[in-house]
Amino acid sequence: MAEKILEEKMEGARGALKRGEWDKFVSLHEKHYRPSAVDYLESRGAPSNEIWKVLRRVWLMLENFEDTQMWWEQRFERANEEDAQLFMGSENWAKFLDLKFPLKIYRGGVAKGLSWTVDEAQAEWFAERLGEGEVREMEVSKAEVFAFLEDRKESEIILRKARW
């Protein structure tokens, strides 16, 4: 049964790749392997503008970034403004442009990371949910911030490099 499911996923991924359905190709991989699937798309010449859109969806599907944090940092550190805009999408981009820097951000829960929030209550929620009662805060410059996302209603700030 498991072999059949795996074969169906592999066939679906091959078909998605042939049709240029980048998002579907990546989503057919288990969550932990999705960053590697993105690397594979890039090696096959998938358009950069599509890669950044796929990366946003991969980011939103993941919750734990510890295993892939360096991979994300490498991407975000070398990304330019156009990449960030593609990653955020038009609504988030407009909100990002309205942010006032230096910007106070918060993080609740586990140690240093890329994902912060401008909403202190949201950081407190994460701290309680993850069993880590501490909420950290700091100010960041615009150059330190890669993106702003409202997709999960978290007022999420994504840093170019993990901080604590």
For residue 66 the two structure tokens come to 């510890």
pLDDT at residue 132, rounded to an integer: 64
Nearest to 64 by CA among 31, 15, 92: 31
Mean pLDDT of 81-85: 97
Decide if 20 is inside a domain: yes
Same domain for 103 and 53?
A: no
Q: 158 versus 131: which is more confidently predicted?
A: 158
pLDDT reading at 53 higher than 90: yes
For 95-139, what is each residue's pLDDT tens digit? 999 999 999 999 997 768 999 999 999 999 988 887 767 899 999
CB neighbours of 18 closer than 8 A, spacing ≥ 6?
none
Nearest to 42 by CA among 70, 15, 75: 75
Same domain for 44 and 103?
A: no
Whole-number Å distance between alpha carbons of 119 and 153: 10
CB neighbours of 84 closer than 8 A, spacing ≥ 6?
93, 96, 146, 147
Whole-number Å distance between alpha carbons of 73 and 70: 5
Decide if 56 is inside a domain: yes
pLDDT reading at 72 higher than 80: yes
Same domain for 103 and 159?
A: yes
Same domain for 47 and 88?
A: no
Same domain for 42 and 103?
A: no
pLDDT at residue 22, rounded to an integer: 95
Domain carrying residue 56: 1-62
Decide if 69 is inside a domain: no
pLDDT at residue 55, rounded to an integer: 97
Decide if 70 is inside a domain: no
Cβ atoms 156, 117 nearer than 8 A:
yes
Tell how far CA 119 is from the center of its chain. 18
C-alpha radius of gyration, the chain, whole number: 17
Which residues partner with 106 through β-bridges?
A: 117, 137
Whole-number Å distance between alpha carbons of 37 and 120: 34
Same domain for 155 and 95?
A: yes
32: left (phi over 0), alpha (psi -120 to 50) or beta: alpha
Confidence grade of residue 158 (pLDDT, cut at 50, 70, 90): very high
Query: Lowest-pLDDT range, 49-58, 84-93, 109-118, 149-158?
Result: 109-118
pLDDT at residue 47, rounded to an integer: 95
pLDDT reading at 76 higher than 90: yes
Decide if 110 is inside a domain: yes
pLDDT reading at 63 higher than 90: no
Whole-number Å distance between alpha carbons of 76 and 159: 8
Decide if 119 is inside a domain: yes
Decide if 68 is inside a domain: no
Same domain for 88 and 38?
A: no
Report how many domains make up the chain.
Answer: 2
Tell me which range, 18-32, 62-76, 118-132, is most confidently predicted by mean pLDDT. 18-32
pLDDT at residue 122, rounded to an integer: 95
Same domain for 95 and 47?
A: no
Nearest to 157 by CA among 109, 112, 110, 103: 103
